[in-house]
Amino acid sequence: MSQGGAKGISIQGVGKAYVSRGAERRALERVDLEIGAGEFVAFVGPSGCGKSTLMNMIAGLLPIAEGRIVHDGRAVQGVNRRVGYMTQADAVLPWRTVRQNVELPLRLHKLADPAGRATAMLAQVGLDGFANAYPAELSGGMRKRVALAQLLAYEPGTLLMDEPFGALDAQLKLVMQEQLLKIWAERGQTVVFVTHDLAEAVTLAQRVVVFSGRPGRVKAIETIELPSPRDPFRTRFDPAFEAVYTRLWEALAPEIRREAAA
C-alpha cells in the first residue's frame, strides 16, 4: 500500500467555515490525513461534524479555501472527474430502465461500448435479469445495486461513498456490504466511506477515522486488523472486532453526546 501523496488522497490542513446570515460557523478544522492508493478508509463522527463537507471537497464540488487536497498526484481544483461519488440520495432516474440508467454516465463520459460495459456491470452487481426493468419495479436493495453499477461503470479509481447504505434495513445493508467488498477485492479502488454505523465502518474498512464534533477534527484513527477477505455476515463475531469496536466507540460516544447537547 502506497501512502498518499503521489497516489491516493492527501488531505493537508483542510478547514472550512460556512458563512450564513453574516455569522461564521466553522465546520472543519485543520484536517490532515493520508489515504493510500487502494486503501479502504471509513469516516465516522457525529452528525454535522463536516464529513460530507470534506467529501465534497475531495470531489471538487466545494472550493478548498483552507489547506489543500492532492488526489493521484494532482491538487484538487474544480470538479474531480477521477472519483465516483455515491450518496444516500442516489441518481437513479425513474423514467429510465435499469440498463439506461447504467449507460447514462458512460455516454456522458463518452466512453466506448456503453452497452457492453453496462451488461458487465449489471452482471457484477447481480442484476442481469433486470436490465429492462424500471426503478419502480425494484426493491430498495436492487435499486441500490443499480446505483452501485452506475458508480462503477466508468471505472473510477477512487470511490467516495457518503452514507450510501444508510437508508437500507440492517439485512439489506449486509448484502450491499458484501457486494462492495467483493468489487473492491477485484478492482482495488481507493475507497472513502462515510457512515454513522460504527459496525459498518469496522466491517468494511482497513482504517477507521473518528472525527470530533463540529468543527470536525481527526480525533482518532484505528487500523482494523481483521482477516480478509471479510464476511459482513460473520466479521462481527470475531473477538478482534469487539476490541477495536470498543476502542473506537470510546472515542466516538463523547462526541455524539457533546454534539447532541450543543
Q: Given the rule CB under 6 A, which residues bind ligand ADP? A: 18, 20, 27, 45, 47-53, 214
Cα–Cα distances in angstroms (integers) from residue 75 to residues 80, 122, 156, 185, in the given order: 10, 33, 17, 27
48/126 with CB nearer Mg ion: 48
Q: Which stretch binds Mg ion (CB under 5 A): 34-42, 49-57, 82-90, 169-177?
A: 49-57
Q: Which is nearer to ligand ADP, 18 or 233 (CB)?
A: 18
Q: Which does 69 bind (CB under 5 to 8 A by kind): ligand ADP, Mg ion, none?
A: none
Among 10, 52, 101, 235, binds Mg ion (CB under 5 A): 52
Smallest gap from Cβ 49 to ligand ADP, in A, equals 4
With a CB cutoff of 8 Å and minimum separation 6, the contacts of 162 are 51, 52, 55, 85, 86, 87, 88, 194
SS3 call for 208:
strand
Which is closer to ligand ADP, CB of 3 or CB of 47? Answer: 47
Question: Rounded to whole angstroms, how far apart are CA atoms 157 and 147?
Answer: 17
> Are 14 and 31 spatial neighbours (Cβ–Cβ below 8 Å)?
yes
The one of ligand ADP, Mg ion, none whose footprint includes residue 152, by CB under 5 to 8 A per kind, is none
Q: In this structure, are strands 83-87 and 74-75 parallel, antiparallel, or unpaired?
A: unpaired
Q: Cβ of residue 204: shortest distance to ligand ADP, in angstroms?
A: 18
Nearest to 259 by CA among 25, 45, 52, 28: 45
Residue 18 contact, options Mg ion, ligand ADP, none, Cβ 5-8 Å cut-off depending on partner type:
ligand ADP
CB of 26 to Mg ion, least distance (A): 16
Using alpha carbons, list the distances in angstroms from residue 150 to 21, 170, 255: 38, 23, 35
Q: Shortest gap between Cβ of 112 and ligand ADP (angstroms)?
A: 36
For the packed helices 98-108 and 140-153, what is the interaxial angle rounded to 10 degrees?
20
Stretch in the footprint of Mg ion (CB under 5 A) among 23-31, 50-58, 82-90, 97-105: 50-58
Query: Minimum distance between the CB of residue 162 and Mg ion, rounded to whole angstroms?
Result: 6
CA 3 to chain centre: 19
What is the binding site for Mg ion (CB under 5 A)?
A: 52
